[in-house]
Structure 1
């Protein structure tokens, strides 16, 4: 049997059985290498040799985690919570329910988008911001499934389309892995290729607004919101945090480096005293630990990709697929997108999916005669498919963590199923149309 199918199949089965993703990738790589005719030592050498490809991304995540936690210690989250509650309660007291609902959705959507690009704290803001707002949402009879869809949109669309923060990491990953597969592309081409798919997510969000527009009653259960950091809010620290964020983005954009941007942001907080010297080591270590798992997944995925390439079974797989579909571009592209959906649903990480599928999809897409932009769109869409709807994805776990603190929001039926329907289906449709007809 083809070594690529063995490796990916084992990795998927183990991931769907909830075996740790890093372990699943490692076992899949080893067994795939053996199935491809490599001996144990050659398989291990290929795997270890490929690990370095994920080092940059892993370090980016580690420093980003440290920067995010350091920012949270300046008091910015506390200020945001109080400001949001005052604005929303003011609208609620004036009985303008429509405006109050719109304000809640706008604020949460804005924060989710900023958490990926402008203030890259990922899902860390949700447990802090959402629980204090649940009582008001209950009074307004807002359907929490709509809130879950709103948050998931903000957690996915920005990194898929915007080349900043996590978006820069994701899009650099696409470019790097396509280069390793034999196709050099420019980073600036990724947003151009993904714009149609991003539009599909907008359509999905708009559809969710229509479907979940009706009132939904929840029990008024008092929620004890944990004061996460006991931070004393000082105007000077808020100012220095804002300066650190601006400095980080100002450096990151011209250098295209999340590492340098995070270092500059951390340095500003440290030198200005917004991050206390006696707490700096603990804060940065905790922040890096928070993102460590994602970094290990990235590293293991690169080793997995290296073993697949070392077996030499990619080309036979491509040739076999071409024979099966008889060169039918439309059917082949659709199947490739579904494969990406299955892989990401299993491992819960779009970032970890890219190294797995790029080695297979790039040569197949070239054989089909697709343009560079179309191939970028194919890889990017296949990678992001499944991030919404996956029970193991941060993009679904985060919203559930905030919405279910009173036990009235089911992770599968209220977060995973709605986000799967309203985002994966439009992504497949719009991605397929973009690859086959528009690019």
Structure 2
């Protein structure tokens, strides 16, 4: 197993990221490692990597425009005005109990917003660079540990799609998991798919509770002016109307057209047309937003290139065969398959993309070892979801970092990737194994 190109490349990716090498460079090095160690030539590896880059371009453009849209919201002053009113209602100098309650309220708001973004209003991570950066000043004053905010956001971005069959949950359960299982020879009733994922989702809930306890103490941050905050606009009725139109148009257009790019573009143009972002300053505001989000966009582009190399290397089937070929115990096999899913998703960064890769390999093996259909579905779904939290290249970690690091005080690896890996992947491993054993 340790000589497999996929394992080596993931170890290279995680090691370089932990050593604080830029994640984009770490992904490029991991892609070269995966290709060369699998026997591909350098030219073939680069060709696969380059071909895969195009898949990340729409996401990168979406992030850039969302950054510009976030600057427009920051210049409107709406979020800061609401937060200031909330703090004033607590009194001039809130006591520790009031501060703790307000911190809990902000975490609850972030958690609910993340859940809604997956199922009720499926905008996914698009809300984060809009909602979170304007709140950073208040979060710093409240001494809210942003690692807890990252854990809350990641929980809301992952757990709902595992069990709730609406929005992105419908895509995960009924467009990816169910068809992939059926193509591999496992037919389940539609209502059994969410049922199979209930216990694994319980592991995510346990992880959230542990994160709430671990990061409950205050943490200090330096007050930093965000892009756009030095151009504060008086909160007039016109500003409120323009902000409401921009936000409403951005969300509505994304829901109608499934295009984050169009929604963010129209939202930013409305801020400009309404005078919140003066026309002569619109280019500067747009550039500030792109700068704020550019690193995340480049990571997503590089991650798509790495995923293309992994898929083209042909090493995933060999990895499964190497790990499971000599296993006859269902318990040991379940643990091995879950760990494999973790490694694959950590590198690719997408549970949705992992399901088609592993389902055709896992299902025959699970049925041969005597796992029930429900247990097999739980094992495949859990193996795919593992690594979505904790991957440097996952949008479930990149999204929270994009919002929480807008002032440069939230490290992607140490403050998002490592906490979410520890508090979600480890409980999900145990819950997925338990589901495979008892269902």
TM-score (norm 2): 0.71
Indicate the residue corresponding to 1:157 in structure 2: 155
Quote the offset at 1:372 in angstroms: 6.2
Matches within 5 A, 1:21-36: 21-36=23-38
Between the aligned partners of 2:213 and 2:34, the Cα distance in structure 1 is 46
> Do the aligned residues in 1 keep the contact of 2:400 with 2:416 (CA within 8 Å)?
no
What SS class does the counterpart of residue 89 from structure 1 fall into? Answer: coil
Quote the offset at 1:304 in angstroms: 1.5
| RMSD value, Cα | 4.7
Quote the offset at 1:355 in angstroms: 8.6
Between the aligned partners of 1:263 and 1:84, the Cα distance in structure 2 is 30
Quote the offset at 1:231 in angstroms: 0.2
Between the aligned partners of 1:173 and 1:22, the Cα distance in structure 2 is 27
Quote the offset at 1:48 in angstroms: 0.9
> Do the aligned residues in 1 keep the contact of 2:338 with 2:382 (CA within 8 Å)?
no
> Do the aligned residues in 2 keep the contact of 1:50 with 1:302 (CA within 8 Å)?
yes
Matches within 5 A, 1:17-416: 17-89=19-91, 101-111=100-110, 113-114=112-113, 117=117, 119-121=127-129, 123-134=132-143, 147-148=145-146, 150-161=148-159, 199-207=202-210, 226=225, 228-235=229-236, 236-326=238-328, 330-338=331-339, 352=349, 354=351, 361-369=358-366, 375-385=380-390
Quote the offset at 1:99 in angstroms: 6.0
- Taking a change above 3 Å as real, the CA distance of residues 104 and 27 of structure 1, as seen in their structure-2 partners, is closer
Quote the offset at 1:75 in angstroms: 0.6
Most deviating of 329-338 and 271-280:
329-338
Quote the offset at 1:398 in angstroms: 7.5
Count of residue pairs the alignment pairs up: 399
Quote the offset at 1:262 in angstroms: 1.8
Between the aligned partners of 2:423 and 2:37, the Cα distance in structure 1 is 39
Segments of 5+ residues of structure 2 without an aligned counterpart are 118-122, 184-191, 367-372
Most deviating of 32-41 and 111-120:
111-120
Segments of 5+ residues of structure 1 without an aligned counterpart are 135-143, 406-410
Between the aligned partners of 1:226 and 1:89, the Cα distance in structure 2 is 24
Quote the offset at 1:427 in angstroms: 3.2
Between the aligned partners of 1:53 and 1:222, the Cα distance in structure 2 is 36
Between the aligned partners of 1:250 and 1:192, the Cα distance in structure 2 is 32
Between the aligned partners of 1:401 and 1:60, the Cα distance in structure 2 is 16
Quote the offset at 1:105 in angstroms: 1.0
1:180-233 deviation line (CA, Å, top 9, x unaligned): x9999xxxx9998876555544444445666788xx799xx9976758434022
Quote the offset at 1:282 in angstroms: 1.5
Between the aligned partners of 2:356 and 2:239, the Cα distance in structure 1 is 46
- Taking a change above 3 Å as real, the CA distance of residues 288 and 401 of structure 1, as seen in their structure-2 partners, is closer
